[in-house]
A and B are shown apart, each in its own frame.
Chain A
Amino acid sequence: MNKIISSVAICLLSITILSSCQQDKKLPFYGERHAETVKDAAGVEKIDTVYQTIPNWSFLNQDSVVTTNKATDGKVYVADFFFTSCTTICPTMHRNLMTVYKEFNTNPDVMFVSHTIDFKYDRPYVLKKYAQKLGVDGSKWLFLYGSKDSVYTLAEKNYLVAVGEDSTAKDGYIHQGYLVLIDKDRRIRGAYDGTKEDQVEQLRKDIPVLLAEYKK
C-alpha cells in the first residue's frame, strides 16, 4: 500500500516538474498596444494584440556607410543613446554593454546599435575612433550618426528613451542610460539601466530567453 502511495506521489511530482519546465518564460512587451482584426493562415479572422514597433530608419554607420533597419531586421538587438564626449554615464554603460557584446559576439542573431545624440561633433569618423578605442571591430555593433530630428524622435517616440540638449549639464546633453532590447519583429521587450551592473546582467540572461521564443 505504502509503495503504491509513494509511486503515485513520485509520478505526480515528476509531472509537475516536467510541466513547469515546459511553461516557457516570456519577456514582456513595452510601449503602446492596440487590438486589431487579423486573418490567420487559414483565412479565419481573429482579434490580435498589436504592439509598438521600431519604424524604418536610415543613418550613417561608423564607416560612413548608409545603414538602414535592414541591418537589424530579423535580429534581436540592443539599442542605446550616448555621445563620445560624455564623461558621466556613457563610459559605465558601454563598459557594461561590452560584457554582453563579448558574450554574444559569435551569435549571428544578435546585434548592438548605439545612436549618438551629439549631432554637432560625433561624425562617423569620431564614432569609428571611439568604437576602436572601446575595443569594437566589425559591424556587429553599429555606431550610428543622424540628424538631430531623426535621432531624437526615434529615441523618445520609438525607443522611449529621453534625450535632449542641456547647456547646464556637465557635457551639454542629458539622456537616460537605458539599454533597450528589441525582438526580431521590432518590438520593445526590455529596458535595462546600463549604469547598473545587476540590470545589465539581467539583459545578458534575457537575450537567450528572447531568442528561444523564435526557436519553435
Chain B
Amino acid sequence: MRKYVINSSLLLSVIAVIISCQNQETIDLHNYMSNGKDIYKAKCQNCHGENGEGLGQLAPPLTDSVFLKTNRDRLACIIKNGANESFIINGKEYKEKMPAFPELADIDVAQVMVYITNSFGNKQGFVPYAQVSKNLQNCK
C-alpha cells in the first residue's frame, strides 16, 4: 500500500512538472504572439498586409505554410537581413527586394517570427529565443 502511494505521488509530480512546463511554453507563446503582433504592425504590415495577404507582386503573402516550414531555420535571417532573391510563394514567383531590419534585436526577431508562423492560417507552434539567436548566428 505504501509503495503504491509513493509510486502514484511520484507519477503525479511528474505529470505536474510536464503540465507546468507546457504552461510555461503556453505563456511564452502568448507573450511572443502579442509582442510579435506589435512589431508586425509597425514594421511588416505595410508590405505583407494586415492578414498576411502580401501586396500584389511587390510583396509575397505570409500564408504559404509549406514555404515557412521548409525554410524554418532561415526565417530569422530573412527577417533580420532582408532578402533579394527569387521565392516561389503559393505557386507564384516573387523577386522584389525586402529591406533589412538591423534595429530588431534577436528577441524581436523571435517574437515577430513566432507571430507570423502562428497567424494567417499558419500553426507552427513556439520557437524559443535561444533557437532563433542560434539561427541568426548562422545567416549566410
A→B interface (CB under 8 Å) = 85, 87-89, 91-92, 94-95, 130, 132-135, 170
Q: Which residues of A contact B99 (CB under 8 A)?
A: 87, 170
Q: Which residues of A contact B59 (CB under 8 A)?
A: 91
The total of chain B residues at the interface (CB under 8 A) is 12
A88 to B43, CA, bound (A): 8
User: Do most interface residues of chain A lie in helix, strand or loop, or is the interface mixed?
Assistant: helix
Q: Is the CB of B57 within 8 A of A87?
A: no
Q: Is the CB of A133 within 8 A of B57?
A: yes
> What's the A-B contact tally at a CB cutoff of 8 Å?
30
A133 to B56, CA, bound (A): 6
B→A interface (CB under 8 Å) = 45-47, 49, 55-59, 96-97, 99
Minimal Cβ-Cβ distance residue in A for B94:
A133
Q: Which residues of B contact A88 (CB under 8 A)?
A: 46
Minimal Cβ-Cβ distance residue in A for B96:
A133
Q: B51 to nearest A CB, angstroms? A: 12
A88 to B96, CA, bound (A): 15
Given A92-B46, A133-B96, 18 new contacts (CB under 8 A): A85-B97, A87-B46, A87-B99, A88-B46, A91-B47, A91-B58, A91-B59, A92-B45, A94-B55, A95-B46, A95-B49, A95-B55, A130-B58, A132-B57, A133-B58, A134-B55, A134-B57, A135-B57
Q: Is the CB of B58 within 8 A of A134?
A: yes
Minimal Cβ-Cβ distance residue in B for A134:
B56
Q: Which residues of B contact A130 (CB under 8 A)?
A: 58
Q: Is the CB of A135 within 8 A of B47?
A: no
Q: B61 to nearest A CB, angstroms? A: 13
Q: Is the CB of A135 within 8 A of B56?
A: yes
- Give 9 closest A-B pairs by Cβ, nearest first: A133-B57, A92-B46, A135-B56, A91-B46, A87-B99, A134-B56, A133-B58, A91-B47, A133-B56
A149 to B46, CA, bound (A): 29
